[in-house]
Amino acid sequence: MCSSSTKKYSPPAKPSATKRSASSSRESKKVRLFPAIAFDRLLTADFNYLALVELFDKLRATPEAHQKNLFGQFTAKSIKDVSSLVSLLEKKNLHLADVGKELSHLVNFEG
C-alpha cells in the first residue's frame, strides 16, 4: 500500500537573474528620488528637523512633487513620508528643540 519510494522536498525555484536586476533597478530609482546631499545627512547621527526640511524642499523641486491627488496631497511615497515626518515633529513641537540646539551651537562655536 505504501510505496517504497519517498518524494524529497525541493524548495521553490529562485527568481531568475533578469527579475532580480529589474527589481534592483526599481529600488535604485527609488533611492535616486532623494537628493544625495540631504539623504547622506539623514543617514548620519545628526539627523534632525533642519535636515528633514532641507530634504523636503529638495524633493518638492522634483517632478514627482507635481503629482497630487484630489485633496492636494502628494502621491509619491518618498515625499509623503518626509512630509509626514516633518508634520509630526511640528505637531509635537520637537522642531523647536532642534532649532534651539543648532542656534546654541552657532553662538558657542561660530560666534
With cell 535616486, the residue in question is: 32
Closest-CA residue to 99 (of 53, 66, 64): 53
Tell which wins on pLDDT, 50 or 20. 50
> Rounded to two decimals, what is the model's pTM?
0.56
Residue pair 52/85 in contact (Cβ under 8 Å)? The answer is yes
Q: Count of CB atoms within 10 A of residue 59's CB? A: 23
Q: pLDDT tens across 69-90, in order?
A: 999 888 999 899 999 989 988 9
CA 31 from centroid of its chain's CA atoms: 8
Domain map of the chain by residue range? 18-110
Q: pLDDT tens across 85-107, in order?
A: 899 889 989 889 888 988 998 99
The per-residue pLDDT for 30 is 47
Q: Is the pLDDT of residue 44 over 70?
A: no
